[in-house]
Amino acid sequence: MSVKLRLKRFGRLNLPTYRVVATDTRSPRDGRIIEAIGYYLPLMPREGEQLKLDADRVKYWLSVGAIPSETVASMIKRTGIEMPKRKPRVRGKSKAKAKPWTPPKKKVPKPRKAKPEGEKKGDKKK
């Protein structure tokens, strides 16, 4: 199961509020969540009250491999929580040697049995 950190919308029409949640990637935007780790109030006039994240839980989810959405990643940077550096995946070279190329063998059709001369295609034996 892959986990994503993303926003879940609450509030009424023209007054959005969001919760920052850890959720399974297969669930819909406002569907089932694993854990709520903060909130975002975009219409709040004071910048300090607009966003609140639980730093310990965010660090935990990032450490176990949760992937933040673009919006949540920018919020995490804005609050000063350090994003973990992802190590590039290194593929080792194969130790097996490649076999030399050989052309495919041609299939030779098997010879058909010869029919007796007295029989024709439409004739039946009685």
- For 14-40, what is each residue's pLDDT tens digit? 999 999 999 999 988 888 899 999 999
Q: What's the whole-number average pLDDT of the chain? A: 86
- For 1-10, what is each residue's pLDDT tens digit? 689 999 999 9
pLDDT one digit per residue (tens) for the chain, 126 residues: 689 999 999 999 999 999 999 999 998 888 889 999 999 999 988 888 899 999 999 999 999 989 999 999 999 999 898 887 777 778 877 778 888 888 888 888 888 887 766 666 665 655
Backbone angles phi, psi at 58, to 5 degrees: -65, -45
Predicted TM-score of the model (pTM): 0.64
CATH assignment of 3-79, given 3.50.50.60, 3.30.1320.10, 3.40.1710.10, 3.40.30.10?
A: 3.30.1320.10
Residue with tokens 């006039």: 45
Rounded to 10 degrees, the C-alpha dihedral 19/24/30/33 comes to -60
Sign of CA dihedral 21, 46, 78, 14: positive
